[in-house]
Chains A and B, each alone.
Chain A
């Protein structure tokens, strides 16, 4: 079933709608709606700006990559070398697969033209004339929507040769992945897009210098591109002021777990976790206590209720030893078994490890097997430390950050919830069984 907007975005007075401002309009995905509501105006404006002016405006906005790493978008664009005689490419990362994250899908479902326009502006900024949208294989229904938007844009002269008489050419293609989380990692994505096995590349060189087909490439997340038109239209300073000083703008945040109103909300950066959970998402279901919070998708280290006043922005999260990540907030109540959470997370990562490097391939599988045994009551005292040690042995030693993504939640689970692990010892069955 395809969920409607209300199921996915219940709405909140704390929202500041920039990139989701058109979602409510009837037929919001159509080009007519888009054009009637500032659509493609940013492109026309950017067409009159120089490449440096565009990049400067994006830098000013403080926009940081929405794919998880939070790298400055303007900076990234400025790394593309100016004097290489090669085609340049724009690649949109729509592989959204991080558990707890389902924001890019809304942009694709309700406002695909906004993404295309963002990519075109990136094209102007680096003189690229071809864009690819790499959509995760499981998002089949979205591929149709995005392809329809692309077709419309071609039909109406917003893609193709000499767009609206501006003399700028831009082609755009949607490409479907085959169902691998790892293909969201930028270099694995590029390999996959080139038709090869989805394994990461050795870096340097980075995509800005040698990306798709070894050519200079800008690769950004869906939400990152979708934010660009508003920045160009209303100015970098305006966008920046929506968030906190070093963390400009708004962010689509998914709140899931044991909250009353789970869903996606566009929130200004810097809103506190407490506000997000208790006000935006309506508080905890059954008014139970919070036990743990995954702040930015399953790979980010967990937080505990003591840390509820942390502002949700890149730097504040980093101070707490975790990450804002992709904005996938998962809230768990006091009746949650953290051993089972760890197992669930590890099942995901061992299934998704591409297998290229030893610590991730073998480490995730070992941990999955051990946690399965442990949760079933077969745990031994020494296993608890071993979970931490194995995760530490993966951390920072794998080929790509997937290994870290798998390791970090394990380390935080053992650190904060050792008691849950101990409760499973001596053949005890899971103490949380039946409590949810």
Chain B
């Protein structure tokens, strides 16, 4: 039990844990002490002097952000002295702050505005000339307007301490002090935009958003990010059916403070000029636009005419869509041939852990990573591929003294946080673990996280190794995309149906389908032609996609689908946490993959149960809850925005090992598979980096 101390705040007797900072103790008791430079989890600055409080027997006012509460302390945060101090501090701040609130991006959601509104003076006594320096462009996505900067140093700290990047510094002194990129005039960094989010004022602004609109003209939709498998929640700011901005305004997701460049800026594929918004059918070897009715009829006819079918699902579509897709394949088309691009061997992991209790689970959640005393990371480069995971590890190492052990084929950035790191030759990762055995045996509990390097039989070996550790060992397999895990859980696999249950009849895997002689393909939100040669012309190909990808180009029927920000449904991140995707906006012409599938199903006369006519994903989700093992999760929690772990450890998983099919596309921070190509901010940053650093992006 932590020791409690009694103290008095504004004449009220209160208690707090010993050592708590006064500012936090006050917050816990519902008293706001204003602060600019104080930021929970970041180092203390005592610079802004907004948090001054009056402590009994002290000659001077003290900063609540640096004073730990002590037994018997008597504090006032609400007397005349404090009011005056706050008022003048704000008056001081406003002397050089340009009052350009009417055009400033931050207007309406600015901490300085709020503070002045609450604690400031009605007028200003400052009549001298203000300082001015021109704004600076540090990168395609980060701009700095020095006069607006109140020098709270949050940006420097979030970049140093939170991101571990250290791209920002402080130049000059006194009133001329300004934040600068440490590389001089430009950033060489992760372009995460965390500095922009944390800036209390409009000093740091986003290249993708600046001067476009006012915060109160938009509606806000907090929804899982469309990109990697971590499942951060991003807040989309939408005006007139257009996403104006992505940020972490909501900050209620499992990502806490965090968002990477993709979550923040990777939304404008939605509005890409290259979106297909009209269905097309192949006529005289050319894809020509047509009506939905004509396209659906053509798709249904083509599929019906074929005797053998291959179905390829997506790592980006929702659970509902993938669930319905496998039903469409297995019960509608009656084909066992269904698969998707795999990047983590979830079946092997579930099988290796078969028989373990549901609680405490042998599978770790994203939150567990934050709280684990030790993490063993094998393979992968989370800084690029799972930015939130990297953030969580850095945070845990920094604030909770977590011990990190790394085995990797190369030296990755997280090595900076590691207790110990080993470079392993490809395929020798598991053997290398022996070197950590003694150290890991001393750790209380270990979370073992592995990338696509560990698969098949290696996972069995890994679990055997984990079993020799004394504590409660938990596992995480890292898969590439927003719903890579969901695709597996929903049974978009040739050997497994939903919930890791054996398929009634095993089918061909992705490579076998594409090399075989199937007569028709249904490809939903996937781009296998990027990797595999598909014999166009031989088979009848139906493609549902947002873009004219390599695969879409060989389609016989191309059906324009809605993107992830244009539909409801659920997705499951790589940790198995299910989140609800929210409808952000509608793009004319496109239909959700679920709707397209149900239209084809109806045209083909399939009876696929409850979902048959569903255009509402909620009904499909109810069917998933009822019928998919491990997915009978608390709907209320999900509906209110929480991430709810699916319970996917349900006994042995007889599966067909195909380690050769498990591969990560090794996306960097600035790429996101096919989707990333259509994000202008990502391309702009990647291009800028290419110019500055032709050797390699992001390295």
Contact bitstring B42-58, A, C-beta under 8 A = 1, else 0: 00111111101000000
Contact bitstring A343-362, B, C-beta under 8 A = 1, else 0: 00000001111111111011
Cβ–Cβ contact B175 & A396, under 8 A:
no
Which listed residue, A361, A370, A382, touches B174 by the CB 8 Å rule? A361
**Min CB gap A184→B, angstroms:** 14
- A19 at interface by CB-CB < 8 Å: no
Cβ–Cβ contact A366 & B128, under 8 A:
yes
**Min CB gap A380→B, angstroms:** 9
| Distance A121 CA – B172 CA, assembled complex (angstroms) | 38
| Distance A413 CA – B88 CA, assembled complex (angstroms) | 21
**Min CB gap B127→A, angstroms:** 8
With A350-B175, A353-B175, A359-B88 as known contacts, state yes or no: A399 contacts B47, CB within 8 Å: yes
| Distance A355 CA – B66 CA, assembled complex (angstroms) | 19
Cβ–Cβ contact B89 & A397, under 8 A:
yes
| Chain A positions within 8 Å of B150 at CB level | 358
Cβ–Cβ contact A359 & B92, under 8 A:
yes
Cβ–Cβ contact B125 & A354, under 8 A:
no
- A429 at interface by CB-CB < 8 Å: no
| Distance A352 CA – B177 CA, assembled complex (angstroms) | 12
| Chain B positions within 8 Å of A398 at CB level | 49
How many B residues, CB 8 Å from partner?
Answer: 34
**Smallest CB gap from B96: residue in A:** A362
Cβ–Cβ contact A364 & B170, under 8 A:
no
- A202 at interface by CB-CB < 8 Å: yes
- A197 at interface by CB-CB < 8 Å: yes
| Chain B positions within 8 Å of A288 at CB level | none
| Chain B positions within 8 Å of A361 at CB level | 92, 151, 174-175, 177
- B176 at interface by CB-CB < 8 Å: yes
| Chain B positions within 8 Å of A370 at CB level | 128
Cβ–Cβ contact B177 & A366, under 8 A:
no
**Min CB gap A293→B, angstroms:** 26
- Quick one: which of B47-101 are within 8 Å of A by CB? 47-50, 52, 59-61, 66, 84-85, 88-89, 91-93, 95-96
| Chain A positions within 8 Å of B129 at CB level | 369
| Distance A182 CA – B129 CA, assembled complex (angstroms) | 26
Cβ–Cβ contact A180 & B92, under 8 A:
no
- B531 at interface by CB-CB < 8 Å: no
Chain B residues touching A, majority SS? loop
Cβ–Cβ contact A362 & B173, under 8 A:
no
| Chain A positions within 8 Å of B172 at CB level | 355
With A358-B92, A366-B128 as known contacts, state yes or no: A202 contacts B173, CB within 8 Å: no
| Distance A182 CA – B173 CA, assembled complex (angstroms) | 10
| Chain A positions within 8 Å of B50 at CB level | 358
Cβ–Cβ contact A363 & B92, under 8 A:
yes
- B126 at interface by CB-CB < 8 Å: yes
Cβ–Cβ contact B47 & A358, under 8 A:
yes
Cβ–Cβ contact B173 & A180, under 8 A:
yes
Cβ–Cβ contact B173 & A357, under 8 A:
no
**Min CB gap B43→A, angstroms:** 9
Cβ–Cβ contact B46 & A362, under 8 A:
no
With A369-B129, A370-B128 as known contacts, state yes or no: A362 contacts B175, CB within 8 Å: yes
**Smallest CB gap from A365: residue in B:** B175
**Min CB gap A111→B, angstroms:** 33
Cβ–Cβ contact A366 & B95, under 8 A:
yes
| Distance A398 CA – B85 CA, assembled complex (angstroms) | 11
Which listed residue, A355, A359, A396, touches B89 by the CB 8 Å rule? A359
**Min CB gap A425→B, angstroms:** 15
**Min CB gap A8→B, angstroms:** 30
Q: How many A-B residue pairs have CB under 8 A?
A: 90
- A14 at interface by CB-CB < 8 Å: no
**Min CB gap A182→B, angstroms:** 8
**Min CB gap B116→A, angstroms:** 13
| Chain B positions within 8 Å of A351 at CB level | 174
| Chain B positions within 8 Å of A358 at CB level | 47-50, 89, 92-93, 150-151
Which listed residue, B47, B59, B61, B66, touches A356 by the CB 8 Å rule? B47
**Min CB gap B693→A, angstroms:** 27
With A355-B175, A370-B128 as known contacts, state yes or no: A399 contacts B92, CB within 8 Å: no
- A430 at interface by CB-CB < 8 Å: no
- A373 at interface by CB-CB < 8 Å: yes
- A393 at interface by CB-CB < 8 Å: yes
Cβ–Cβ contact A362 & B44, under 8 A:
no
| Distance A182 CA – B46 CA, assembled complex (angstroms) | 17
With A361-B151, A396-B60 as known contacts, state yes or no: A355 contacts B88, CB within 8 Å: no
Cβ–Cβ contact A197 & B89, under 8 A:
no
| Chain A positions within 8 Å of B85 at CB level | 393, 397
| Chain B positions within 8 Å of A390 at CB level | 88
| Chain A positions within 8 Å of B48 at CB level | 357-358
| Chain B positions within 8 Å of A396 at CB level | 59-61
- Quick one: which of B480-506 are within 8 Å of A by CB? none
| Distance A373 CA – B175 CA, assembled complex (angstroms) | 18
Cβ–Cβ contact B174 & A369, under 8 A:
no
Cβ–Cβ contact B95 & A364, under 8 A:
no
| Distance A368 CA – B495 CA, assembled complex (angstroms) | 78
- A35 at interface by CB-CB < 8 Å: no
Cβ–Cβ contact B66 & A362, under 8 A:
no
**Smallest CB gap from B171: residue in A:** A197
Cβ–Cβ contact B61 & A397, under 8 A:
yes
| Chain A positions within 8 Å of B174 at CB level | 350-355, 361, 364-365
**Min CB gap A181→B, angstroms:** 10
| Distance A353 CA – B173 CA, assembled complex (angstroms) | 7
**Min CB gap A383→B, angstroms:** 9
Cβ–Cβ contact B125 & A362, under 8 A:
no
Contact bitstring A369-402, B, C-beta under 8 A = 1, else 0: 1100100000000100010001001001111000
| Distance A393 CA – B151 CA, assembled complex (angstroms) | 19
| Distance A180 CA – B128 CA, assembled complex (angstroms) | 26
- Quick one: which of B155-192 are within 8 Å of A by CB? 170, 172-177
**Min CB gap A170→B, angstroms:** 34
| Chain A positions within 8 Å of B177 at CB level | 355, 361
| Distance A359 CA – B95 CA, assembled complex (angstroms) | 11
| Distance A364 CA – B173 CA, assembled complex (angstroms) | 13
| Distance A370 CA – B95 CA, assembled complex (angstroms) | 12
Contact bitstring A251-265, B, C-beta under 8 A = 1, else 0: 000000000000000
With A355-B176, A355-B177 as known contacts, state yes or no: A362 contacts B47, CB within 8 Å: no
Contact bitstring B273-288, A, C-beta under 8 A = 1, else 0: 0000000000000000
| Distance A409 CA – B328 CA, assembled complex (angstroms) | 84
| Distance A407 CA – B174 CA, assembled complex (angstroms) | 16
**Smallest CB gap from A357: residue in B:** B47
Which listed residue, B52, B66, B96, B170, touches A397 by the CB 8 Å rule? B52
Cβ–Cβ contact A393 & B49, under 8 A:
no
| Distance A351 CA – B172 CA, assembled complex (angstroms) | 11
Cβ–Cβ contact B173 & A354, under 8 A:
yes
Cβ–Cβ contact A202 & B44, under 8 A:
yes
Cβ–Cβ contact B151 & A397, under 8 A:
no
Which listed residue, B44, B88, B173, touches A393 by the CB 8 Å rule? B88
Cβ–Cβ contact B92 & A202, under 8 A:
no
**Min CB gap A108→B, angstroms:** 26
| Chain B positions within 8 Å of A180 at CB level | 173
| Distance A364 CA – B172 CA, assembled complex (angstroms) | 16
**By CB atoms of chain B within 10 A, which of A202, A350, A356 has the most?**
A356
Cβ–Cβ contact A197 & B170, under 8 A:
yes
Contact bitstring B111-127, A, C-beta under 8 A = 1, else 0: 00000000000000110
| Distance A362 CA – B36 CA, assembled complex (angstroms) | 15
Interfacial residues, chain A to chain B (CB-CB below 8 A) = 180, 182, 197, 202, 350-359, 361-366, 369-370, 373, 382, 386, 390, 393, 396-399
9 residue pairs, one from A and one from B, having the closest CB atoms: A362-B92, A393-B88, A369-B128, A355-B177, A396-B60, A353-B174, A365-B175, A355-B174, A355-B173
Known: A202-B66, A361-B174. 14 other contacts (CB 8 A): A351-B174, A355-B175, A355-B177, A358-B47, A358-B150, A359-B89, A362-B175, A369-B128, A393-B84, A393-B91, A393-B92, A397-B52, A397-B60, A399-B46
Could you list some 7 contacts between A and B, CB below 8 A? Answer: A357-B49, A358-B49, A362-B92, A364-B175, A365-B174, A396-B59, A397-B89
